Amino acid sequence: MSNELMIIRCRLGEREAFAELVRTWHDPVWTYVRRMLSAAEADDVAQEVWLAVFRGLPRLKEPARFAPWLFTIARRAVSNRLRVEYARPEVPIAADPVVGDAVDVLLDRAEMIVNLSALPVIEREILVLFYLEDLSLEDCAQICAIPVGTVKSRLSRARRMLHDRLVRKGSVE
């Protein structure tokens, strides 16, 4: 069943469609929430996300754009728990050296997951959305409410931070 069809059926009030929606999207939501928060908070926040999704579904304008809408809600729920971390000023982007494809190769998915928790929330979030959730740059920009250029800069900085961490651990040279 396509996402759009699932959303339309949910908006019609079909209970099986709600179950299908949760079955399809719970893992991506939980992955995002879990990478951003502790295990103790993840289940409750994931539930908050789903309740907000169900409340918001009747007003969802573009069912085909469900994924960015869902992650915008998830991000709001996470940022409510991480107000202090999100308020931290970002390192000026111009000062960041650009880390290109060579580092992408190093970003083995499993290795990234292990090391994500050491990164600040802003950088961790963009890596989770782009690499673990496979969202496009445009979707990441919509979810984080920032321009696409800023998404690219954050990704570059996040990759650099991750790379530096791996170098320190001796995982890469």
As a whole number of angstroms, the distance between CA 130 and CA 150 comes to: 13
Question: Which of 38, 56, 88, 134 touches other proteins (CB under 8 A)?
Answer: 56
Total site size for other proteins, rule CB under 8 A:
27
Go through the chain and tell me how many residues it has.
Answer: 173
Site for other proteins in 16-35 (CB under 8 A): 18-19, 22-23, 26-27, 30
Nearest Cα to Cα of residue 28 among 4, 3, 9: 3
Nearest Cα to Cα of residue 73 among 58, 47, 53, 43: 53
Question: Which of 36, 37, 46, 73 touches other proteins (CB under 8 A)?
Answer: 46
76 lies in the binding site for other proteins (CB under 8 A): no
Q: What is the dihedral of CA 135, 139, 142, 140, to 10 degrees?
A: 30
Cβ-based nearer residue to other proteins, 45 or 126? 45
Question: Which of 32, 50, 66, 131 touches other proteins (CB under 8 A)?
Answer: 50
Residues 6+ apart with CB under 8 A from 158: 119, 123, 124, 126, 127
**In the bound complex, what is the minimum distance in angstroms from residue 104's beta carbon to other proteins?**
31
Cβ-based nearer residue to other proteins, 31 or 171? 31
Question: Tokens 């069912």 label which residue?
Answer: 63
> Which spans of this chain sit near other proteins (rule: CB under 8 A)?
2, 4-5, 8-13, 15, 18-19, 22-23, 26-27, 30, 43, 46-47, 50-51, 54-58
